[in-house]
Structure 1
Amino acid sequence: MYKLSIYKYIGLFGISMAVASCKVPALPQLTEKKSVPITYNNNSDTTNTGNLQWRSFFNDPNLVNLIDTALKNNQELMITLQEIEIAKNDIRIRQGKLLPTVGAKVGLGVEKVGRYTSQGAGDAATEIAPGKEVPDPLMDYTLTAYANWEVDIWKKLHNAKKAAVTRYLSSIEGRNFVLTNLIAEVANSYYELLALDNQLETVKQNIELQRKALEVIKVQKEATRVTELAVQKFRAEVLNSQSLEFEIIQNIKETENKINLLLGRYPQEIPRDKNNFLGLTPMAVHSGIPSQLLGNRPDIKKAELELAAAKLDVKVARAEFYPSLDISAAVGLQAFKPSYIIKFPESILYSLAGDLAGPLINRNGIKAEFNTANSHQLQAMYNYERTILNAYLEVSNQLSSIDNLDKSYNTKSEEVTALTRSIDISNDLFRSARADYLEVLMTQRDALAAKLELIETKKKQFNAITNVYRDLGGGWK
């Protein structure tokens, strides 16, 4: 009869576990879209500039030294490196949960129970030796080693560890993405600084030209060929150019400080060659084929790894629906008197237990966790697809920009040449009274604006080259 009761309870427990394990949601089957067009603008060249190391791509020694310093001192990069360490430690945490937890315990306790209780009456009637009753109060000395282990039946802990490893690899790709952006940002700021230097020099030259023109106008006024209005107009033009000069000087200061921030240091002058910026030739780039982006771009690989980790999270959340098996064991020594601890086998204690536990009541909470993990998985998939699309569009935009900026620079160069010649022509016509002073002023103003725009276009050319190198995945290797 007793055995039948045991079997009945075991049967009820098995039924409970079966109920707890039924209606487990199926794993969602997701297929992310990773296809890209075959070429960029029908260009089938497989050579990819993104495979070049940044030291081979940038040939300005001053810029190379700045990038070197940034890679050593940049705070954002240092923060990213700590994220890698955090992800690495998470792997160790997940690995630890796969192994049994083993510990040791030393205990000391005292117990006093009422004499007129079942335990007190039993102790009073018991003799541990002839003529020796059980001590009252009763001390308890324990020296125990114990272990607890969750048996990973459903691969929940293994999948959690795999997810941690995947996120660690994702953090490395995140570091690589920060590297590519940092190198590009330093280079773009450096070219901006060179452009500002040349714009400042152009404005200074224009101020000298305007001052000479102002002196001519003053002479013309004394000869009653022009009025005081012309003198004031030329003086105002000189003052306007001087104001522009101060504005450029401030922009230079701010750009230098921007570079110093990227380099992780306090303000100091940025070493550079300020001469012949317009004579510099932008580096040649080869875009390769779009499918190479999947292997070159750190942000794409990071998004792919985050998607893989999210898929593993769904498996971990699904495993929560199943029963878990926990095994615990302990062995040690216990007695109510220290001298009795070394008496064997009377002082020996041991235990071994296995628990099979499954959710019965809180299934809605577990289902909510599973649905949340699945939503994160969908987010990661859409982010992965968007990252691929964005990468292709970025490269396509920069390639188009390089082509159009090259055409714009050639056109702007011809405009500057024509306006520079027109300055001399307008001055000659003014001296011979065949042009008024307003035509001279407008010619000088147009020439200055064209020269500044030419320098700006040259800067944009270098920025586009740098950006396409970054967008192709260059810089982190």
Structure 2
Amino acid sequence: MNKKTIIKGTLYVSVVSAILALQSCAPQSNYKAPKLDLPEQFRGQVDSLNTAKDSVGIADIDWKAFFEDEKLINLIDRGLENNFDMTNAIKNIQIADQKARQAKLEWLPKIDMTLGNVGYQYKSSNYYGSPSSAYYKKKGKDAPENMYVNSAQHISDISISWELDIWGKMRSMSAEALANYLKTHEAKKAVQTALIANIAEGYYNLLLLDAQMEVAQSNYELTKNTLKIVELQRDAGQTTSLAIQQTRNQMLVAKALIPSLKQQIAIQENSLSLLTGQLPDAIERDTKLADVKYEETLTTGVPLYLVSQRPDVQQAELELKAKNARVGVAQTNRYPSLTIDVTGGLNSMLGKNWFNIPGSLFGGIIGELSAPLFNKRKLKTDFEVAKIEREKAEIDLQKSVYGAITEVSDALITLETVKEQIEIAEEQVATSRLGVKQSNLLFNSGYANYIEIINAQKNMLDSELNLNKLKQNKLISRVKLYKALGGGWK
């Protein structure tokens, strides 16, 4: 082995050792999950709701198992397939996927190729220089005085530029792209969860409007019959025209509800059609509000498990990871960069010698170690801003977690209180129906006046409408709890 070989080998080992040493002292931007102060259970988590304190909850239930109404399930299926927000969320995933794929290849060298680069530079006699006699000599001609070819280049080459990732900048860029890509998946889950909840709430609102329509029509028919009886009594001289006017007014109150409810039903159907990506149309349903089936047992799990289930919480944490990786990129931009450039190809003055090998071959290799010295504080500013952005992302994560826990607590409290309200409302309905029955008997027997029967019918209308509204509130509260716990995207 000659001395030159030994020197080259020693130089190679020194360069590799230097690179490894630089990597070992590279700045770190490894992600560390922040510590969150979470309660052991949700506020409102009481035994009457059967809210188990296990690690899992209803969020683990597939949405098709959570909802038992086939019409609602078909409606949600159509929404997941055609909803415009869902379609956009899928497109965002595709965009982020392309960026993540590109970021994975940042560590590879950049390769450029030039094929057929021909350049001629023409000058005249007043130009400070002399005619390119070599060019014309090779052409077998004398150089002219004006507009002579001063230089000629026929080039085909390949250039390779490779920046070594000695500080981990490429790894940080890849980590940032990956976090942004995963964020789009969580965003899609969040859109799906919200979409399912919105469709279910709209569907239950339709069932409520249908139930209110039945109550209004039934009360309207009842007051019509009462009006006929009062008119007969007036004709017999047993009552006055004032009784007829007040009875008719009560009848019109119930009658006025009917067109108003028709309007609300049509608007709600249009809203559901839009959610499912359809033009306005009727929504098929064959279930009554009182007949909706659902599982009474609710298991919420523990707040710590919620953090891993809620798409928006996961999205906020991935945003924190991306901001953390951006800190690593901003930090490494302040350190020297090592770049190796290699160029090789064919170059000739005359076109006929372009591909004359080896006469037209050329090549070169350049190793460049460059470092920023003064850039008007831009790099330091970028680094400090990146750190502040990371702190903001950590605050947003904590806000998302606290907001999620609050939503669960609100839903639990609503479910508990609405159960009590329904029990009271059912008693009110039973009492008001009995009151109407008794007032009719007394009215027909002459022991009650029209005022008493009107009040009884008004009380029954109000109590039945209120009971239907509370039943719908219970259904919607269950949906909100399911959504708040992170269910609906599985």
What is the TM-score with the length of structure 1 in the denominator? 0.89
- Partner deviation per Cα, 1:351-392 (whole Å, 9 max, x = no partner): 222332222221511222222222221121011111111111
Question: Which of residues 195, 201, 209 in structure 2 aligns to 1:188?
Answer: 201
Give the AA of the match of 2:120: V
Aligned match of 1:112: 122
Secondary structure of 2:153's aligned partner = strand
Check the 8 A contact 1:126/1:133 in 2, yes or no.
no
- Partner deviation per Cα, 1:27-46 (whole Å, 9 max, x = no partner): 79986232311123366531
Check the 8 A contact 2:29/2:324 in 1, yes or no.
no
- Partner deviation per Cα, 1:146-189 (whole Å, 9 max, x = no partner): 12222222111221111101111111111111111111111111
In the alignment, is residue 239 of structure 1 matched against residue 252 of structure 2? yes
Give the AA of the match of 2:240: T
In the alignment, is residue 204 of structure 1 matched against residue 217 of structure 2? yes
**Aligned pairs (5 A) from 1:94-105:** 94-105=103-114
Check the 8 A contact 2:79/2:277 in 1, yes or no.
yes
Give the AA of the match of 1:34: L
Aligned match of 1:341: 354
Aligned match of 1:12: none
Deviation at 1:130, TM superposition (A): 11
Check the 8 A contact 1:189/1:255 in 2, yes or no.
yes
Aligned match of 1:258: 271
Give the AA of the match of 2:336: P
Give the AA of the match of 1:393: T
Give the AA of the match of 2:374: I
1:346 and 1:425 map into 2 onto residues whose CA distance is 118
Aligned match of 1:15: none
Give the AA of the match of 1:54: W
Aligned match of 2:482: 469
2:283 and 2:31 map into 1 onto residues whose CA distance is 54
1:117 and 1:247 map into 2 onto residues whose CA distance is 91
2:381 and 2:256 map into 1 onto residues whose CA distance is 64
In the alignment, is residue 299 of structure 1 matched against residue 315 of structure 2? no
Secondary structure of 1:98's aligned partner = coil
Of 450-459 and 282-291, deviating more is 282-291
Deviation at 1:68, TM superposition (A): 1.0
Label 1:86 to 1:248 Cα distance change in 2 as closer, same or farther (>3 A): same
Structure 2: tracts of 5 or more residues without a match: 1-25
Structure 1: tracts of 5 or more residues without a match: 1-23
Check the 8 A contact 2:52/2:300 in 1, yes or no.
no
Deviation at 1:224, TM superposition (A): 1.8
Label 1:238 to 1:127 Cα distance change in 2 as closer, same or farther (>3 A): closer
2:474 and 2:53 map into 1 onto residues whose CA distance is 22
1:435 and 1:321 map into 2 onto residues whose CA distance is 93
In the alignment, is residue 49 of structure 1 matched against residue 58 of structure 2? yes
Aligned match of 1:35: 37
Give the AA of the match of 1:255: Q
Check the 8 A contact 1:143/1:332 in 2, yes or no.
yes
In the alignment, is residue 330 of structure 1 matched against residue 343 of structure 2? yes
2:376 and 2:337 map into 1 onto residues whose CA distance is 14
Aligned length: 452
Deviation at 1:139, TM superposition (A): 3.0
Of 125-134 and 254-263, deviating more is 125-134
In the alignment, is residue 167 of structure 1 matched against residue 177 of structure 2? no
Question: Which of residues 66, 76, 80 in structure 2 aligns to 1:71?
Answer: 80
Check the 8 A contact 1:256/1:267 in 2, yes or no.
yes
Label 1:456 to 1:369 Cα distance change in 2 as closer, same or farther (>3 A): same
Give the AA of the match of 1:74: N
Identity percentage of aligned residues:
30
2:489 and 2:139 map into 1 onto residues whose CA distance is 83
**Aligned pairs (5 A) from 1:78-157:** 78-105=87-114, 106-114=116-124, 119-120=129-130, 123-124=132-133, 136-137=148-149, 138-157=151-170
Check the 8 A contact 1:198/1:274 in 2, yes or no.
no
Check the 8 A contact 2:31/2:324 in 1, yes or no.
no
Give the AA of the match of 2:122: K
Give the AA of the match of 1:233: Q
1:171 and 1:408 map into 2 onto residues whose CA distance is 41
